[in-house]
Chains A and B, each alone.
Chain A
Amino acid sequence: MSELSNLLRQRLASGPGVKVRSDGHPDADTLTAYVERLLPAAERNRVFEHLAACSHCREVTAMALPGPAEEQQVVATVPAGRRWGFLWNPWFRLAAALPIVVIVATVLFQRNQTVENFKRDSAAPPATYNEKAGAKDSSAPEAARGESDAQPSANGIAGKTPSGVNDALGNARGAASLAAAPAAPARNSATTTTNEPVMMARAGIPARRDYVNSDFFANNTAQDGVPGTVTAAVNVGELPPAPSPRVSNQFPSPTLSINAANTMPFIDMPTQSTGTQTVRTIAPPSGGSHWGIGTLTALGPKAKKALAKSVSPSIPVGGLSFSAMELNPRTQPSEAAAAARPPDSGVSGLEDAGAFRSRARSDSSVTAKAEMREAISGSWRISSGRLVRPGEAGNWVEACPGSAAIEFTTFTTHGSELWAGGSNAALIHSRDGGATCKRIVLGASATGAIIRIEVRNASVQVKSSSGQSWSSQDGGETWKMDE
């Protein structure tokens, strides 16, 4: 290409130059209108023709150009209809509309997929569980699936694929139809629903608002000590009192056998799309006496109140709390911390419907923050004051079994090393992943709950809710209170 450039340049340099022609120049008005881009296209083209041939006018025009600051003013003087005329160009409009169409089509496609997933799930027959060996009945494959799904193990989370996300979406959204089929499976809700916010967050899907969290009860067969599942339908528009214990009518509780250790009641309420809220149960990991309710997202105060009146069980002290709320920034920590343990004594918890909310409110912010942190950190988590992690068998393994009196509020881990703090300035240290723990006494004057633990090599610093700060420079052997 350079040879052509040189060719042009050389010939121009050796040529006679451009003469100033005294006739036929555009007048000052035309040149001004050209500079200010006010000429019609045809006339502008004629000016182009002239300028290409006339160095004098090129020179004048170049000098008549306003400076950069003035140029902006000139552009501003161009009639708006001309400046923005391209907006009415059909090709421009077509090009602008194309991405919008693509986005809308994508959203619709995803929504359809979600609905189909839900239909597929909801079309599955209800199942009963047969988890204990030799327990009653039936639908063995389904029960097996339900059982495996019901265990929110770390493997279950890690094993999720993108399609699993869709399934989770389908399951969760499809929960509305569970109201129409009350006995529909609580089976397939556990893992998907429990992990759903996490997976949604990992998949970049924003947490949904149409999931309603509320308390729930489980244990419709108090006399057997076997918890069951309950499905309650609530009209969102009017929020009438939810059907009170239809439990025994809806579930074949006499024949239902669920391992309490692997079952957790759960509420999942898609509201906006169907106008119906549905309560489902899932199988959680916990000890037999350790029941809880997972909290997914925010519930409107009106709906929450109505639900609390109708279906909430009493929640005794303790209970398993999930930190899924952290994935929904609009959710209050206290709601996330709202977890409940069904009463060991049976279904009488139904009368204590408001306990869930009371419990949620009474949870200290310290606990809520700790739960938020643990959702980020490893597999350890604090559940109602207990430090637990999912076991390999799908159950929850409690750390430091001997420290039951401590209500943990915070912890920190580094490899197999575990530091955990709790109420009454209690601090434990484990070097073997929680199997054996050492209770550490900070000092006689230590008060408040431990709210923060910072470990750097051998330097450990803890802070309590009473404002005290204790530090150790020898890995926790000796402690002194910081000023």
Chain B
Amino acid sequence: MSSGSRPVDLALLTVRELFEKSGGQRYGLTETDFCSILEQVAAKYVPGVASEQRQQFWRELKLEELALARGCAAGHEHAWQVFLTRYREKLYDIARGITKEDSRARDLADSIYGDLYGTAEKDGRRVSRLSFYMGRGSLEGWLRTVLAQEFVNRYRKQKRLVSLEEQAEDGVQFSAAVQDTSGPVDRRLASAVDSALEQLPAEDRLILAAYYLDNRTLTEIGRLVGVHESTISRRLEKLLKGLRKQVLAGLMAQGMNRGQAEEALEADVRYLQVDVSRKLQENRPAAFQQDKGSD
């Protein structure tokens, strides 16, 4: 565990209080270690903020779980005992919930256990994945997210490796090569739709993407956004109405009259060259551009 120097503006009393609250001493952490961890977390998520804000940010962390994770990462035996007692079964349960299959779940959980213990070495030291836990959410939630990330990555890797014969054996029917459908393209319609999508709030775009791109159910989208499914239903309906209005307005702004605009909107969508997924991706903020896959 690194023992970085304590910054001048760090309130000693606050750190001491937080350290006691975290119970880090039980996991072999010292106050200096803990202070260093806090500084690391603050530097990542709230860089350059005032001391009071940083202290407030620290208070909102899951301090006890952060200390436990860092204790485990440092190889403290008692910390591992506590971790295994608390999370061993949960880890398998979460994996089972993700994979929907027992053997794959055990496989997934075991691989994560390896990462958590730290099989890889860096500069002669074992690197545990738990050292990337920052305490913003619960440790259990973090483990769930890590498992989900691992599962998605594995799935995508394996998907690429499946042979065509194997898929054919599984009964997969392959579509014919996609024809160039760039027929009578009305670029005005495309730009009107793009413009309407760009003007949507981020949450609405997430709902649209989850509904149209991922084909998620209203319940799943509701859980993803954190609202009830009936709210999602209403919002989707409202979104479509608003989008239609905006597209019509956009078309009329480009010189169409209303009849023409409605006719264009009702045109065969096969001829429409609007890449909604690309448009949604283009709106991606630069907020996470700097997070170079820290975990």
Contacts and interface: CB of A to CB of B under 8 A. Distances in A.
A53 B178 contact: no
Interface string B147-170: 111011000100000000000000
B278 A25 contact: no
Given A29-B134, A62-B224, A8 B212 contact: yes
Nearest to B281: A53
A55 B212 CA distance: 11
Interface string B268-295: 0110111111101111111111111111
A48 B203 contact: yes
Interface SS, B side = helix
A87 interface: no
B181 interface: yes
Nearest to B262: A3
A52 B265 CA distance: 24
Contact of A28 (B145, B282, B283): B145
A30 B148 contact: no
Contact of A26 (B144, B265, B288): B288
B152 A59 contact: yes
B153 to A, nearest CB: 8
A468 interface: no
Contact of A3 (B181, B269, B288): B269
Interface string B243-268: 11001000000000000000001100
A24 B289 CA distance: 4
Task: Select the residue from B137, B151, B205 with max chain A CB neighbours within 10 A.
Answer: B137
A32 interface: yes
A65 interface: yes
Interface string A37-51: 111000001101111
Contact of A49 (B147, B151, B220, B287): B287
Given A29-B142, A71-B223, A11 B274 contact: yes
B181 A4 contact: no
- Complex A-B, nearest 4 residue pairs according to Cβ-Cβ distance, in ascending order: A32-B137, A63-B148, A53-B284, A48-B202
Interface of B: 60, 97-98, 132-138, 141-142, 144-149, 151-152, 156, 178, 181, 193, 201-203, 205-206, 208-210, 212-214, 216, 220, 223-224, 226, 237, 240-241, 243-244, 247, 265-266, 269-270, 272-278, 280-295
7 contacts: A4-B243, A18-B277, A27-B134, A29-B137, A45-B202, A52-B283, A58-B214
Given A4-B243, A33-B136, A49-B284, 9 more contacts: A1-B237, A11-B276, A29-B133, A45-B202, A45-B203, A49-B202, A55-B209, A63-B152, A65-B223
